[in-house]
Structure formats: C-alpha cells, structure tokens
Amino acid sequence: MPEPITRTIMETFDVPDSGYETVMMLVEMAPHVNSGLHTHPGFDCAYVLEGGLTVLELGKPAKPIRAGESWHVLPGAVHEVKIGD
C-alpha cells in the first residue's frame, strides 16, 4: 500500500541574511488524507497540480483549493490540509 503522504525535495537554498532555508518540494497526498495540524517557521506556499483540497487555518474559514490554484500560510500559523476524493 502506498504512503498516504509522500514528500520529494526538489531544491533547497539559504535565504540571504535571514537564517532561513527555503525548501521546494513535491507533496503527494492520497484521497481522504489529512495532514494534521502543524506550523512552519517560515512562509508556506503551495500550488495544486491536480485534484483539490481544503486548507483549514485556525481562526479562518475553510479555504477550498482546486487544481491550478495556490495558497499561502504565514509563519507560525496553525493549519492543516484535507484531501477529498
């Protein structure tokens, strides 16, 4: 059985004068999977290649995202991603 979430790192690089590292990755999630609540120390931005999902950020309304759309989450924001069918 395949993993419910796979992450493939495409590129990493240091952000000058910040102490941060940027990581670009391909994340694949199986249908009906939830990432679980989590945070990031830096900005989280993503683009949906196919299918759809819902971004749930604490204190904000659910945000449905479809293929061809993107979103971002501010550093430290508690959020999760849920995949439908």
Strands (E), 16-75: 20-29, 44-47, 52-57, 63-66, 70-73
| CATH for 5-83, options being 3.40.50.720, 2.60.120.10, 3.40.50.261, 1.25.40.420 | 2.60.120.10
Average pLDDT (18-32) is: 93
> Chain-wide mean pLDDT for the chain?
94
pLDDT value for 84: 84
Strands 63-66 and 20-29: unpaired
CA distance 59 to 61: 7
Q: How confident is the model at residue 35 (pLDDT cuts 50, 70, 90)?
A: very high
Evaluate if residue 29 carries a pLDDT over 90: yes
